[in-house]
Amino acid sequence: MVPWLPGSVWTTYPYQRHTGAVGWMPIAFDKKNNKLTIRSDHCEGSSHHLINGACTGCKALPESSKYHDFVQHAVAAPAHSQWDYLTSDQLSSLLSKSNQNC
């Protein structure tokens, strides 16, 4: 389990990015503590290499640059990001700005 610091996993997690090769999938959510469990696409499952309940691939994910970039994108997406890859909060904010401009 990893803490999801950007906010609620329901509005700030960019689920749409999983249509590409992210490297993991969220498999469980802890709403009370705002944490999620992620599993590597290369999970070793019930390998003898388990460390505190996670294989080496899954254990390395939260510290990886790819995961940190993913979280950072959820906090503040680059201006050139495709709408398909934004969180629901980011989309809502863009729609509000667009509505104000109109």
* Digit-coded pLDDT (tens) for 12-65: 888 888 887 899 999 999 988 989 999 999 888 765 656 567 888 888 999 999
Domain residue ranges of the chain, discontinuous segments joined by +: 2-101
Tell me what pLDDT residue 46 has. Answer: 60
Main-chain dihedrals φ then ψ at residue 28, nearest 5 degrees: -155, 150
Tell me what pLDDT residue 49 has. Answer: 57
Does residue 67 have a pLDDT over 90? yes
Give the global pTM. 0.74
The secondary structure element, H or E, covering residue 3 is strand 2-3
